Amino acid sequence: MLKVRSIFLSDIHLGTRACQADRLLAFLRAYESEHLFLLGDIVDFWSMSRSIQWSQSQNTIIQKLLRRARHGERIVFIPGNHDEVLRDYIGTAFGDIALQREHVHTMVDGKRFLLVHGDEFDQVTRYHRSVAVLGDMAYTMLVRINIFLSWFRRVFHISGYWSLAGYAKRRMKTALQFVFDFEGAVIHAARERNLDGVICGHIHWAAIREVDGLTYVNCGDWVDSCTAIVEHFDGRLELIEWGKAVQASDSSAIIKEEVCVS
């Protein structure tokens, strides 16, 4: 097991068929940390209002998180729009897991990062909920189709990881513009607070990059790409693309993208 200082996860979407619970369990068994931050949409109450898909693996994830918190790992849960009902309990704790609206995390090198889910910077989610729900349903359909395509590629020995949802995002100019607008908005919020960067989720597009002198970090998701962010003890932030590692049929070979923020 690899020990890191911090783990950042978002958009797990427990309670849905698309949740890649087995892959997340494998990741959690491979990494341990001092701090674990859950940055929203951990439980998908939106989808669960239509139908509930709760597997044993998803139940094991909850048990594992609670056990890690009991054993001294600091776990902070920042609810997102899909689990916004939990925002009514901000300031309390569930089994040693603290619920917060947002958090400022100090890295080893002293740099401070704003931790949020990110839906507050999404104008569609904030002001056009019905449109957001329809978009969520369409995205869920793409992810389900991608599960079949992944099976097809394995059966016919087609190598390499490929995401239908990711392809659709890259091909749609409006989707790309939304991502850029989102990044700019969260970076602006961090700058206003004199912080050094932001770590968020929400848009299912994992990244670590410099934007106007600040560091923008997005955790991605665990329904399509299966990505996480870790902070090493030397201050490096690393994007772990667990989905690509599993797609390559070698769960120990983790394809990585590293950015030094020291």
pLDDT at position 18: 86
Residue 135 structure tokens: 């978009």
Query: Do you know the residue count of the chain?
Result: 262
- CATH number reported for the structural domain that contains residue 86 in this entry: 3.60.21.10
Tally the domains of the chain. 1
Q: Which residues pair with 97 in a beta bridge?
A: 75, 94
Sorted by sequence, the CB contacts under 8 Å of residue 92 that are 6+ apart come out as: 98, 99
Residue 164's domain comprises: 2-259
pLDDT exceeds 80 at position 147: no
pLDDT tens, residue by residue, 155-182: 666 555 556 556 555 555 455 566 778 8
Please tell me the least confidently modeled range out of 152-166, 201-215, 229-243: 152-166
pTM of the model: 0.78
Cβ atoms within 10 Å, residue 43: 25
Please return the burial class of 202, using the count of CB atoms within 10 Å of its CB with bins 0-12, 13-18 and 19+.
Answer: buried
Residue 110 structure tokens: 């002293």
pLDDT at position 188: 94
What's the chain's average pLDDT? 83
CA distances 202 to 31, 105, 219, Å, are 23, 19, 9
Tell me what percent of the residues of the chain surpass a pLDDT of 90: 62
Please tell me the least confidently modeled range out of 36-40, 47-51, 60-64, 218-222: 47-51
pLDDT at position 51: 86
Q: Of 173, 144, 146, 140, which is closest to residue 161 (Cα–Cα)?
A: 146
pLDDT at position 253: 37
Residue 28 structure tokens: 């959690």
